[in-house]
Structure 1
Amino acid sequence: MTLAGKVFFATGANSGLGLATALRFAREGAAVAILARRADANAAARAAIEALGAPCLTIQGDATDEATMRDAVKRIVRQFGALHYGFNCAGAAQSVTPLVKLRIDEYQRLMDVNVRSTFLGLKHMIPAIKAAGGGAICNCASTAGLIPTAQQVVYAAAKFAIIGMTRGAALEAAADRVRINAICPGATTGEMWLDFARDHPDRAALALAKHPMGRVGDKEEVADAVLFLCRDATFTTGHALPVDGGRTTG
């Protein structure tokens, strides 16, 4: 229970990587807050977190809306007394579509859900974590932000932007004792990858073949990496950590 007395906030965390991470922090004793859109999934996530003995606050809302993000952070601090760790995990995948055929509304959706939500999370979490005496934020990027793939160009651009934002924000927040890093998962057993593998089995097989460890990662392995960056990597900031079975080493 190394995080007893600490407070963890994650966006998009009522399923997949976000929920796995929220459960990981709960097991370490942290109070957990979630901001996500689906009320039914929020309720199920809360039940799973509370079953571990951790207090949980779920907030139904859109992480791309600034008023929602601002009010969520204020509500967390009001209920739990502080905020120590954040995970900007809200994200959206791109359909396999050539750039020249991608609709502008799809471009905007991808940039909003991935980049705008991360920007708003950083903007409103940093002052709260500073007020608590310091802590850490992890942003969810992707190996696509390190090695892009064809026909998912805007998704890659969004993840590149998250890595750039992570590094710039880390410079700004370091003096306030707020460390900011990113994780870059490869193929992982979250909903996004599973949906992609179902819809595009040939491309999924090709992507998996590029992972030297020869397997899909488990979402709990990503959760462990987020925990490491937040709790343990106390002299690390501005880093984009691949969690990818060796995908980006070559």
Structure 2
Amino acid sequence: MTLAGRSVLVTGGNSGIGLATALRFAREGADVAIFSRRADRNAAARAEVEALGVRCLTIAGSVTDEDDVRGAVDATVAAFGWLDYAFNCAGLSQSLTPLEALGLDEFTALMDINARGTFLSMKYEIPAMRARGGGAICNCASAAGLIPSAFQVAYAAAKFAVVGMTRGAALEAAKDRIRVNVVCPGATTGEMWLQFAADHPDRAALALAKHPLGRVGEKEEVAGAVLYLCRDATFTTGHAFPVDGGRTTG
């Protein structure tokens, strides 16, 4: 229980990679705050986390709403006394759409949730960690934030933005003993991948073939990387960490 007495805020934390990460931190003893727009899933996620013997706070709201984000950070600090770690995982995937056919509404939604949501989260997490005397933030981008794919231009734009914001925030926050890194998962078990594979089996097979390890990653493998970057990688900041089966190697 190496994180006993510590707290973590996970956006998008009641399903997929977010929930896997919340559970990984809980197994290490951290109290967990889950912030998600899918309030209907919060009770089940909280039960899973609390079953591991730690406290869990669930907060309903959107990472695109500044008041909601500020409130989520304030609620975490009020519940646990401070904020040590954050994993900004809330995200939205893109349908396979040629650039000229992509609607402005979908482009805006992808940028809002993936990029604006990460920006707002860090905007309020960093001051809370500064008050604590330091901390660590891990954002969630994608292998597509390092090597883009055709027909997902808006998604790549948003995830490239997350990588860029991570590096800029790392430079700003270093003086406050706050490290900021970003994980870049490849194809990973979870709702987004399963839906993509069901809707586009041929494209999913092509995507999988680009992963030299020859398989889809597990949510828990990404969660392990997040834990490493937050707890163990104490001399690492501004780093984009691929968890992609070799997808971005070459």
Matched, 1:165 2:183: no
Q: Give the Å deviation of 1:39.
A: 2.0
Taking every aligned residue pair, what percent have the same amino acid on both sides?
A: 73
- Whichever residue aligns with residue 229 of structure 2, its letter is L
Which residue of structure 2 aligns with residue 146 of structure 1? 146
Alignment RMSD: 0.6
Q: Secondary structure at the match of 1:165?
A: helix
The amino acid of 2:237's aligned partner reads T
| C-alpha displacement of 1:184 | 0.2
Residue identity opposite 1:145 in structure 2: G
Alpha-carbon deviation of 1:140? Answer: 0.2
Q: Distance in 1 between the 2:132 and 2:18 partners? A: 23
Equivalent pairs, count: 250
In structure 2, distance between residues paired with 1:111 and 1:33? 24
Alignment-derived partner of residue 13 in structure 1: 13
Query: TM-score under structure 1 normalisation?
Result: 0.99
Give me the whole-angstrom Cα distance separating, in 1, the residues matched to 2:190 and 2:39: 20
Write the distance in 2 (CA, Å) between the matches of 1:82 and 1:151.
42
Distance 1:219 1:91 in 2: 15
Counterpart of 2:83 in structure 1 is 83
What does the per-residue CA deviation read over 1:144-165, in whole Å, with 9 as the maximum and x for residues that have no partner? 0111001000000000000000
Any gaps of 5 or more consecutive residues in structure 1? none
Does the alignment pair 1:207 with 2:207? yes
Partner residue of 1:71?
71
Equivalent in the alignment of 1:221: 221
Aligned equivalent of 1:34: 34
Structure 1 residue ranges, 4+ long, deviating more than 2 angstroms after superposition: none
Q: Which amino acid aligns with 1:133?
A: G
1:42-191 correspondence runs (5 A): 42-191=42-191
TM-score by length of 2: 0.99
Residues in 1 aligned to 2:167 and 2:39: alpha-carbon distance in whole angstroms: 33
AA in 2 matched with 1:110: L
1-structure distance, mates of 2:38, 2:103: 26
Cα separation, 1, equivalents of 2:228 and 2:212: 23
